[in-house]
Amino acid sequence: MVAFALIPFLLAGVSPLSAVAAPLQGLTITAASVKGAPIFPPINYGLSGLCKLPLLQEICAIVAAKTSSGIQVTTPIGVAAGVSDGSGASRFPVKYASATRWEASTISTKWTLPTGATNASGLPLACPQPLVDPSTYAEDCLSMILYVPTSLKANSGAPTLLWIHGGSFITGSATGPGLDGSKLAIATNSIVAVMQYRLGALGFMAPSGTTNLAVKDTINAMSFLAKVVPSFGGSASKITLAGQSSGAGMIRALLATPSASSLFQSAILQSDPIDYGFLNASTQVALQSSFNTLTGCTASNKACQNALSLEAIINAQVTLCSDASSIDPSTGTAEPVRPVRDGSLITTPLDLTAAFPSVNKPILLSNVRNEAGPTIFSMFTAAIDSSIFEDAAQGSLGDARASTVMASGFYNTSVSDTRIPLETLGTDYVWRCPTWSLARSWVAHGGKAFVGVYYTGATYPANNDIAFCLEAGSVCHQDDIEIVFGTVPNPTTAQAALTTEMQARYKAFLTTGSPNVAGLLPWTAATTTDVHAHQLGGTPTPSGEVPAGACEQSFWGDSVDYDYQVYGI
C-alpha cells in the first residue's frame, strides 16, 4: 500500500525520503559522510588560516592581487584580483556583503575575498545547510563570483546577468554543478555573477520576527554589482536577474518588491514552482514561534541566539520543515521556508489572488518538459496502475479539485504506466500552468513576457540515478541549467545546438528585452489569451509552439485552483 501521506512531496518536486534533503542540487550525500563531522573546520595556522582572521583579510587580498595570475581590476572599493581559466574569461570571487546572525546584511565597502578563499583562485564556502560536511560552509557566506570576458574594457556598458541558485531556499551555492559562468559570459558578451544568500532558518527565521533577510541579501548583491561592474566593463543600469527553481522564486519575490525595482532591468525565471505562492505574515508568525521554541531562545534573547551552534540551528530548521505543514497547511512540504509577503518589503502576491500591480519589465519564463519527473519516478520505481492516479490526485489536491482533474480528459490514465500522466499532472500543477498564468497577468498589466518549454536538456547530476530522466526525450527539473551555462560534459549535437541558441537568445534578451535573434525561429511574446509557449529543442511543432493542454486559461487557475488560491496566500 502506498503511503499517501508522502504524496505532497510527489507533486512538489522533492524526494519522499526527506523534506529537507529534496533539492540537494547534485550533491551525493550519505548520513555516514557527515556523522561525527566537526561543526567548524580545524584551525590552520599557516597563511591560509591567518588570512581568515578579520584583521588580515584586507592585507591578504592585496597580496593575492599582486601574486595571482596578474589579472587586476581597480574598482571604487579596492583592487579586485582575478584568475583566467584560459577560455577567454576571468573569474573574480568577492564578498558582496556581511551580516551578523539574524540581522540585515550590509554591503561591502572594500573588495574582500570570500570566506574560504585565500587568493583569487579560491572559491567561497557555501552558506550553512543540512546534510553536507560542515567544513564546506561558513556563516559568513554572502559572496559571489564574477565571470568577465577578457575582451571587456572598463565602462564598455555591457549587461550583467546575476544568477540566483535554486535549492528550495535551504541548499545550494554559487559553486554548484554546472554554474561556472565563463562560457555564458563569453557567449553573451556580458558579466555573469553567480551569488549565494543566507539559506533556511538563517535567511528566513530571525527569532526577532524580522522577515526576508535572504531577499534583502539579494537586494544588496544588486547594489554591490551596480557599484563595481563599470570597472569590469559593465553598466550599472543593465542588470538582469536569472535563476532556476527557488532561485526563480527569489526573483519573483524581487519582482513583488517595489523598493528593488530600480536595481534591475529584466528577469529570467526558469522552473519557478509558482503554485506555492509566498508565505503570508500570519503563517510566518506561526513558523517563527515554533522555531523559537525549538531553539530554546526567546525573540529578545540575543545572547541565547548568538550562543547557538550552527548544528543546533540546522537541526531546529530540519524539525521545523518536517512539522511545517501540520503547523499551517499553506506551507506545503517542498518549500515551507520561503519569502514572506510582509506588506513592507514584498507588497503583492503577484498571482491570481489579489489585484495585480502595474509592471513594465520584460520577463522570460521557462519550464522543462518533465518538471515532476524526478519525484514521480524516484517515488514509484515500477509501473503503477490507474487507481494510484486518483489516490495521488486526491492526496495532493483534495477531493473537489481531484474530481475536476479526473473528469477533464487532460490526463490519460488508460496507459499501461500511470506514472506518465501523474508526472504530467505534477508538472502542470506546480510549475507549467501557474507560470503561464503569471505570463498572462504580467502582459495584462503592462509588461512583456516570453514563455518557453525545454524539450532538450542535459541530465543534471541530481538526476543521474533516475532511469526516467535518462530516457531519450525526458527533460527533468534542473536539466536546463547546464544547457544555459554551456557546461554540459560531452554534449550531443542537439545539446550543443540548444546551448548555442539559448545563449544567443539570452544575449539578445539582456540587451533588448527580447529573446529574438536573426536566423532563429521567431519567439512570439505572450498575450493575455495565448502565451505562445516556444518549444526549446526537440523536434519542433509546425508553429514552434507547445500546445496548452491543461494550461489553457479556463482550467488551471480557474476551474481548478492553484494551492496559493486554495490557501489565500
Provide the residue ranges of all domains of the chain, joining segments of one domain with +. 1-569
Residue 10 vs residues 98, 121, 139, 224, 372: alpha-carbon distances, Å: 37, 40, 32, 39, 8
The C-alpha atoms of residue 505 and residue 514 are separated, in whole angstroms, by: 8
Among 245, 290, 330, 441, which one carries the catalytic annotation?
Answer: 245
**Rounded CA separation 422/218 (Å):** 35
Instruction: Specify whether 245 is catalytic.
Output: yes
Q: What is the CATH number of domain 1-569?
A: 3.40.50.1820
Report, in this order, helix, strand and coil percent for the chain, each rounded to 5. 40, 15, 45
The residue type found at 38 is P
Residue 269 β-bridge partners: 243, 365
pTM summary value: 0.89
DSSP 262-275: GG-SEEEEES--GG
Terminal-residue alpha carbon distance, the chain: 33
Could you list the pLDDT tens digit for every one of the 569 residues in the chain?
Answer: 333 333 333 444 443 333 333 333 333 333 333 333 332 233 333 334 444 454 454 554 444 444 444 599 999 999 999 999 888 999 999 999 999 999 999 999 999 999 999 999 999 999 999 999 999 999 999 999 999 999 998 889 999 999 999 999 999 999 999 999 999 999 999 999 999 999 999 999 999 999 999 999 999 999 999 999 999 999 999 999 999 999 999 999 999 999 999 999 999 999 999 999 999 999 999 999 999 999 999 999 999 999 999 999 999 999 999 999 999 999 999 999 999 999 999 999 999 999 999 999 999 999 999 999 999 999 999 999 998 999 999 999 999 999 999 999 999 999 999 999 999 999 999 999 999 999 999 999 999 999 999 999 999 999 999 999 999 999 999 999 999 999 999 999 999 999 999 999 999 999 999 999 999 999 999 999 999 999 999 998 888 999 999 999 999 999 999 999 999 98
- 420 phi/psi in degrees, rounded to 5: -65, -55
CB 170 within 8 A of CB 20: yes
- Between CA 256 and CA 241 the distance in angstroms is 14
- Give the span between the Cα atoms of 538 and 457, in whole angstroms: 9
Q: Contact 502/521 with Cβ under 8 angstroms?
A: no
Measured in whole angstroms, the distance separating CA 379 from the mean position of its chain's CA atoms is: 23
